[in-house]
Structure 1
Amino acid sequence: MIRDSQLLDQLVTTVRRFVRERLIPAEPGVEQENAIPGAIIDEMRDLGLFGLTIPEAYGGLGLTMEEEVMVALELGYTSPAFRSVIGTNNGIGSQGIIADGTDEQKQYWLPRLARGEVIGSFALTEPDVGSDAAAIKTAARRQGKNYILNGTKRFITNAPIADVFTLMARTGGEGASGITAFLVPRNSPGLSLGKIDEKMGQRGTRTCDVILEDCVVPADAIIGGVEGQGFKTAMKVLNRGRLHIAAVCVGAAQRLCDESVSYARERKQFGKAIGEHQLVQAMLAESGTECFAGRCMVIEAARRMDSGARIIQEAASCKLYCSEMVGRVADRAVQIHGGSGYMRDSAVEHFYRDVRLFRLYEGTSQIQQIIIAREMLNA
């Protein structure tokens, strides 16, 4: 389903070079400062990375799913923080507008998101609401031409730097049918941010609470202009998000494999390189095989999605397998590196911490298992 293989090759090559020449050398600084340098974000804008999935009509690159995962495989090769800063613009921050937004919303927001002029963020999770997304408590009450929002959103990626939030709030009764999606600008009256979270890993990816205290937004901030469609909007873009994250996991696994191979060639014990010891070879072989399997399944699922096939099971399978797989590869990488892999100046040390999150967001591994089993039983 790739539209122009030559152009795609150029894009992938450009991203690969950018990752290796610009982003990987910047990883130690991001770990230390817990922030991505502004100059790198500007370079991402210049490369069009904020608009990978946004249609060309609105200034984006309009990549197909297969094209997107080919780019995500490259972006996953470096610290997840770099991908995360563009992730919401290419994911739920724009895809909900693309799927269900009004013409006015598309014309206003999508070109800005594609240029990286504004950074989007997706605000669903709450202090007491995670996997059960239909149980959100943040309330939206109609008052004349406006809505008044009250509640707290938690662990919101890019919230400290976001300009607009795709925010889910309850406008009706219980369950999914009462949830509405709002586009809430950062400067909306009554919106404030909590302190930046201190996380196990993924330093440079900033998250915090989004606090709504009688936050006022106009009625035309509802995506699509219709109440009660927010949960359906979110569900429409889940498959794309899960395939994207799966591809990022494969990219990270490939980086860990390459780091492990390089170390196994150089490090000597018992008079020879540790890569010549069969038990080290076994760990390398297992990691390489699993990485290859993940790459194959992600590309195949992306091609099926581009062909119009129903891929709920395939997308969940990719997310489940690849997020679990990269955790195993990271564990082996630390083992191969020995004590050096446990030190803060080792790439495998921060990847070991970083990749743990992939089993939690975009739906936990357990949620993916439920989805896969449900699809199998209802086939």
Structure 2
Amino acid sequence: MSEQHYLVGLDLAGRRVVVVGGGTVAQRRLPRLVAAGAAVELVSPEATPSVEGMVAAGELVWHRRPYRAGDLAEAWYVLCCTSDSEVNAAVAEEAERVRVFCVRADAGSEGSAVTPASGEYEGLLVGVLAGGAHQRSAAVRDALLDALREGRVPDRATAPALPGVALVGGGPGDPELITVRGRRLLARADVVVADRLGPRDLLDELAPDVEVIDAAKIPYGRAASQDAINDALVSHAKAGKFVVRLKGGDPYLFGRGFEELIACAEAGVPVTVVPGITSAFSVPAAAQVPVTHRGVAHEVVVVSGHIAPAESLTDWDALARLGGTIVILMGVDKLDQFAAVLIAGGRPKTTPVTVIQDGTTRNQRVLRTTLEAAASDVLAQGIRPPAITVVGPVAGLAAELPELVG
């Protein structure tokens, strides 16, 4: 059995690091080297477009030629990333002579160093080595990072306390569609103020001592006032708690997120904003509706449907004259009015419409219809909020496809 590797952290900031080869392997390794502050020099006659982009951005220096002896002078670290094993061997031999640790991407055991499967969580750099079994080390790293992000590995006791409030966009409903940062902050919360449209399954993963405040806003039913929500955010944050405002979709797309930010700012409470995957685009995608498509729709407009056309700030006549996509949020109960004003403004009655209820969740329902029949079909099928309506030619594209797996 060969000796185990010695796992160590290298401070490469400002130190010369040589990467030989500019292909996809280098493309994977370069970002972390750059993020570590290394003075990276790439030696390669060619590079991928992404690597060229890093060069153009001034993140590294590119010597556009093959490797030659002497390239490792004054280097602190070297990575062999070419597809030519002979070149990699020559680089490794020079590295051995000049006493520079060298990683061979093509044959890890033949270099003097190996790159661990690594990832970052809240200031922790997690690295896993498995004696060259790369799939195993990557799998363990991913499982450990997931456990940290989800709070299954306790870190709250030792991690630095977080201040104030985080406005977290939870995405369209599927708990797997929240952002990595959003999930990480949720695992650190002392108090969670949650919408009913947020990824509710994630609440069950919170530690028992986390206080959950229901801020559900049910259309035409019981609802927490915005002032009460603002007060809850401010009061708990001022009591020294880290508060996560878990919202559906994106905080700033018809989510009143900026109102909450203003309330916190006026009270002197620091706020972190975590954008979310908006349901306006992701829910149609889950129903095989692209909100734009080349040659079909050159614009997409997202409209709030909670106010009738006659009272809305939206210029519905102008929308009717457009030929692209209209995405209506919170508009199921007034769909007859929206359809009428669009048809009166020039949209054909046969314009395709797709209505998606509970998009991306296990309860998702999809109704494909036309602008003329949309309101009656929604009523007949019992479609209820939350639902998103897509109006425009893109709503009919799915009918041209073979049957798809949902």
State the TM-score, normalizing by the size of structure 1.
0.23
Larger relative contact order (Cα-Cα within 8 Å, sequence gap ≥ 6): 1
Question: Max radius of gyration: which structure?
Answer: 2
Higher helix share: 1
Higher strand share: 2
